[in-house]
Amino acid sequence: MKVHINDVAMDFPQGTSVIDAIFAAGYDVPYFCSQEYMSPIGACRMCLARIGAPRKDKEGGWILDEATGEPKIFTFPNMMATCTTQVMEGMVVDTLSEDVKRIQSGMVEFTLINHPLDCPVCDKGGACELQDRSYEYGTGVSRFEFDKRHQEKHHPLSEVITLDRERCIHCKRCVRYFEEVPGDNVLDFIERGGHTYIGTFDPGLPSNFTGNITDICPVGALLDATSRFRGRNWEYKHIRTTGMDDASGSAIMVDGRTGRIERIKAALNPDINKTWIDDGTRFGHEYADAPDRLTTPLLRKDGELKAATWEEAAAFITERLGGMSGKDVGIAIRADATLEEGVAAKALAEALGTGQLDHAPRPAASVIPAQDPATFTDLATSDGILVVGDVTEEVPIADLRIKDAMKGVTPPELMPHGVPIADLRLKEHPQLKRAILTVAAPYRVDLMKHAGQTVRYPAGGEAALFGALTKLAEHGGERVDGEPAGEGQAGASLDDGERAALGMPYEDAAALVRRLKDAERAVVVYGGFVLATRAAAEAANAFAKAVQAKVMILGPMADSYGLELLNVGPSHERYAYPAMLTEAKALILSNLDPGQDPDVRRALQDKELLVVHDSFLTDSASVADVVLPAKSVYERDGTTVNLEGRFLGVHAASVESGESEDFVGLVGRLGEALGQRLEGRSVRSARRVLRKRFELDPAELSPAGRLYRPKTRRQARVAIVSHEAFDGNLLVTPSMVRIEYLTRNPHLERVVEGARLRMHPDDAALNGVADGDAVRLRVGGVLRRAVVREDDTVPPGLMLLPCLPDQPVGLVQADLTTLTREERALEVAG
């Protein structure tokens, strides 16, 4: 419909809000309560404009202006909030007249009445919507001369978010965010009128997505505690890059200053994370600036690790390598390395002539679906979803996109000014279509509280669960009154074992199968629990095929998909990681720490050469011959591929980390020492390889990234040794917060209260520990430190512990005889 905004006439589809029409036309109005991807509510009254529209008479024709013969424009008696008004045919909008300007400056004056003059000490200064709108639309002087209201300042809403109640302008973005986006209603207004303030009933904001409110708060009321008082917004260098903490490929903005990362914010990617990131990505950056970061190479001289130069270290390595066969060297990089680092690793392996190359953690099954993987948009528009695992911890953004599907609102069309400011399809208090979601896991996971159907199956039972479901699916999913199908009868017959494996009544399973089959855009989502065994993954893929669902696989780390695509893997199963730790005589390990297992650490000491590339002096590094300082994920230029198969650019922020290099830099240095020009000796040379291999230019990737769909079938990957019969008494679970950096991320550490070893209260009593005890435990050999949490939703006999890169998701055996409380000296004495 045609709309006139001041002197511009444009066409808009029905349902467009007037405020979006205004911005699309190139004009603007102030607003505080509207927020992209959230419901418009018309509360702040800043966006008021003078609007008129023609009217139809009883016969359906336009009422005409007698003078001009054109449809007469009837001006609405009051100014209208443009965020909650729909465009109408022939509407006329005025945002420039004196009347409108007077109201705009009046609203600014009202908004500033109780707002404290904190600008000189407020972190939001320079990036503050209230500052900007006051400057643009206010008169510059306030006539309010009385005492402003006083409220609590710097109230710790949680360990990572500080609330200043005086600064709040009551836009309600934070309240609506929690209700509409993650569905965790943890904030609300308390009291009324001029006394209204933001508060919570649950201590510490229990949600994985709390940090986004610090992005959307238009003023300095909600602030990131990790960057409090760390700098002024105009001093920060903002680098847009891709988050490397999980496989989502979320867009982030890294704010740095004087060689430190001070803050991480969300960046816009409509296809992946919209404008949201999870708390692990946002607040988990402090380790990059930890004081104990390695800044120079270390060389073992006289039994001690001493600082050395890269030339010295590279020369040492080259010399040692010269005395052994190249094929006895094992090279392993972490699965959040960039593609360029993968190219470098492959080049080095080829130069050395070794087939012992791998990236870790690498699950037993492939992270690349046989058919085209489901995209986040597929997930967000799905009408039937089955999730197996804990997606809220594994790839948190997938949780939010699932909730998009449950709200039933498709992603908005982008407008000239970007994402619509006021999407009128979004309403407060949205009703989620719970029926479309089934969540299955061996323990209670957060997403279950929103699901229409929840399934608790026994840990390790993924293959059996999918096997039984597939049988149901292939036989039409018809219920046969609980009796085995008779001759010629349609229906599935499941034996007792298969029924038990379902973890739910037969009827519910049949209903699930029917629901997914009837859905037009079904998606099956699975992660580490299923990837842990080939059998489970095959069964899951067979099920998805049987119900004609797309598959979304949550790989263990950021570039799992990319490194598998690039085939950074061994020439034989016995050379895979961690098998290569025994097989190889020399090892080059990047960002991996197998030495956390004391037995492995002892074995590592006997290697002819152990080179550890890491940011910190880990257990493995402490027994290495050479330690090389590694760049953190924030300091690398490169490319990564997320779980959709989307190529995304990674851009380095400037962090003062001495002589750190990423694996590309390491290979470059080694290449110099070896006298070879290795591919992947630099990002540029690595990209030549990538360009050729994938027919796209990583240097020219747009911020949105690019979905890659190979034209030919991939070569088969070499699997790792996997256990087909999965057994254990402890389930290693996915974790949004990276446990390997927990002690160096003090804010996040306080949020999660340590690595939690969850167990049933009966098991705690049985093992002589209690809630809150700090303990040590050998889990699958790895020595883990954790804090006991008694939880009666954990099945008795099973314990839960979050994962590490060297201890991926899945069932393992914990040696409970090694469970000991960490006593402090004072405690023992007292």
Partner 1 sequence: MSDVTDTTHDASTRPITSRRDPRYEVVMYRHVGVEGAHTLDYYRSHGGYEAARKALSQMSPSQVIDEVKASKLRGRGGAGFPTGVKWSFMPPVDGRQRLLVVNADESEPGSFKDRYIMEDDPHQLIEGMIIGCYAIQATKGMVYIRGEYVKGYERLVGAIREARQAGLLGRNVLGTDVEVDITVHRGAGAYICGEETALMNSLEGLRGNPRLKPPFPAQAGVYGLPTTINNVTTMTSVVHIVSRGADWFASMGTEDSKGTKLYQVSGPVERPGVYELPMGATFRELIYDLAGGPKEPAKGFFPGGSSTPPLPWTDEYLDLPMTYDAMAKSGSMLGTGGVIVIPREKDIVSAMYNVVRFYAHESCGKCTPCREGIATWLPKMYQKLLAGLGTREDLSLIEDMVRNNRGTAFCPLADACAMPVQASFKWFRDEYEYIVDNGKPMYTKSDWWQA
Asked if 130 is part of the footprint of partner 1 (rule: CB under 8 A), the reply reads: no
Q: Tell me, what amino acid is at 219? A: V
Burial class (CB in 10 A: 0-12, 13-18, 19+), 571: middle
* Only segment of 14-22, 166-174, 543-551, 809-817 that touches partner 1 (CB under 8 A): 166-174
Burial class (CB in 10 A: 0-12, 13-18, 19+), 304: exposed
Select 98 or 191, whichever has its Cβ closest to partner 1. Answer: 191
Q: How would you classify residue 697: left for phi > 0, otherwise alpha for psi between -120 and 50, otherwise beta?
A: beta
Least CB distance to partner 1 at residue 598 (A) = 56
Least CB distance to partner 1 at residue 192 (A) = 5
Give the whole-angstrom CA distance, residue 795 versus residue 758. 10
Asked if 383 is part of the footprint of partner 1 (rule: CB under 8 A), the reply reads: no
Residues in a beta bridge with 767: none
Least CB distance to partner 1 at residue 260 (A) = 38
Determine which residue in the list 28, 36, 94, 188 makes contact with partner 1, applying CB under 8 A. Answer: 188
Least CB distance to partner 1 at residue 94 (A) = 15
Asked if 199 is part of the footprint of partner 1 (rule: CB under 8 A), the reply reads: no
Determine which residue in the list 42, 204, 231, 326 makes contact with partner 1, applying CB under 8 A. Answer: 42
Select 30 or 280, whichever has its Cβ closest to partner 1. Answer: 30
CB 46 within 8 A of CB 111: yes
Select 111 or 807, whichever has its Cβ closest to partner 1. Answer: 111
Least CB distance to partner 1 at residue 131 (A) = 17
Least CB distance to partner 1 at residue 108 (A) = 9
Least CB distance to partner 1 at residue 196 (A) = 4
Of residues 85 through 124, those in contact with partner 1 by CB under 8 A are 102-103, 106-107, 109-111, 113-114
Select 135 or 144, whichever has its Cβ closest to partner 1. Answer: 144
Select 148 or 714, whichever has its Cβ closest to partner 1. Answer: 148
Q: How would you classify residue 97: left for phi > 0, otherwise alpha for psi between -120 and 50, otherwise beta?
A: beta
Residue with tokens 């029926």: 435
Give the whole-angstrom CA distance, residue 559 versus residue 337. 6
Asked if 666 is part of the footprint of partner 1 (rule: CB under 8 A), the reply reads: no
* Only segment of 42-50, 59-67, 154-162, 481-489 that touches partner 1 (CB under 8 A): 42-50
If one counts every other C-beta atom within 10 angstroms of the C-beta of residue 14, the result is: 9
CB 258 within 8 A of CB 362: no
* Only segment of 185-193, 232-240, 767-775, 807-815 that touches partner 1 (CB under 8 A): 185-193
Least CB distance to partner 1 at residue 560 (A) = 44
Radius of gyration from C-alpha coordinates of the chain: 29
Select 144 or 229, whichever has its Cβ closest to partner 1. Answer: 144
Binding to partner 1 by CB under 8 A, coded x per residue (else -) over 359-378, reads --------------------
Least CB distance to partner 1 at residue 191 (A) = 8
Determine which residue in the list 146, 606, 700, 829 makes contact with partner 1, applying CB under 8 A. Answer: 146
In sequence order, which ranges of 154-278 are alpha helices (DSSP H)? 173-180, 212-216
Q: How would you classify residue 154: left for phi > 0, otherwise alpha for psi between -120 and 50, otherwise beta?
A: left
Least CB distance to partner 1 at residue 408 (A) = 14
* Only segment of 4-12, 165-173, 388-396, 455-463 that touches partner 1 (CB under 8 A): 165-173
Nearest to 440 by CA among 298, 536, 319: 536
Indicate the helix (H) or strand (E) that contains 393: helix 391-394
Select 46 or 261, whichever has its Cβ closest to partner 1. Answer: 46
DSSP string, 39-99: -----S--SEEEEEE--B-TTSSBPBPTTTSSBPPEE-SS-EEGGG-B--TTEEEE-SSHH
Give Cα separations from 190 to 35, 83, 150, 200 (angstroms): 22, 25, 15, 9
Least CB distance to partner 1 at residue 146 (A) = 5
Give the whole-angstrom CA distance, residue 105 versus residue 142. 10
CB 475 within 8 A of CB 546: no
Select 168 or 463, whichever has its Cβ closest to partner 1. Answer: 168
Determine which residue in the list 66, 120, 429, 487 makes contact with partner 1, applying CB under 8 A. Answer: 429
Select 43 or 307, whichever has its Cβ closest to partner 1. Answer: 43
Least CB distance to partner 1 at residue 157 (A) = 19
Which residues make Cβ contacts (< 8 Å) with residue 356, sequence separation at least 6? Answer: 327, 328, 329, 330, 331, 349, 570, 571, 575, 580, 583, 584
Give the whole-angstrom CA distance, residue 382 versus residue 521. 5
Asked if 84 is part of the footprint of partner 1 (rule: CB under 8 A), the reply reads: yes
Which residues make Cβ contacts (< 8 Å) with residue 355, sequence separation at least 6? Answer: 327, 349, 570, 571, 572, 575
Of residues 459 through 478, those in contact with partner 1 by CB under 8 A are none
Select 107 or 181, whichever has its Cβ closest to partner 1. Answer: 107
Give the whole-angstrom CA distance, residue 497 versus residue 30. 63
Residues in a beta bridge with 227: none
Give the whole-angstrom CA distance, residue 247 versus residue 562. 10
Judged by CB under 8 A, the number of residues near partner 1 is: 38
Least CB distance to partner 1 at residue 34 (A) = 13
Determine which residue in the list 72, 149, 327, 706 makes contact with partner 1, applying CB under 8 A. Answer: 149
Select 137 or 316, whichever has its Cβ closest to partner 1. Answer: 137
Binding to partner 1 by CB under 8 A, coded x per residue (else -) over 43-82, reads xxxx-x----------------------------xxx-x-
DSSP string, 658-673: TT-B-HHHHHHHHHHH
Give the whole-angstrom CA distance, residue 474 versus residue 471. 5
Least CB distance to partner 1 at residue 174 (A) = 15
Least CB distance to partner 1 at residue 35 (A) = 16
Give Cα separations from 743 to 221, 244, 485, 633, 747 (angstroms): 28, 19, 57, 17, 9
Of residues 595 through 654, those in contact with partner 1 by CB under 8 A are none
CB 154 within 8 A of CB 164: yes
Backbone angles phi, psi at 392, to 5 degrees: -65, -20
Asked if 713 is part of the footprint of partner 1 (rule: CB under 8 A), the reply reads: no
Determine which residue in the list 6, 196, 571, 820 makes contact with partner 1, applying CB under 8 A. Answer: 196
Select 175 or 469, whichever has its Cβ closest to partner 1. Answer: 175
* Only segment of 21-29, 37-45, 445-453, 722-730 that touches partner 1 (CB under 8 A): 37-45
Nearest to 780 by CA among 552, 603, 594, 588: 594
* Only segment of 138-146, 317-325, 704-712, 788-796 that touches partner 1 (CB under 8 A): 138-146
Binding site for partner 1 (CB under 8 A): 41-46, 48, 77-79, 81, 84, 102-103, 106-107, 109-111, 113-114, 143-144, 146, 149, 169-170, 172, 188-189, 191-196, 429, 431
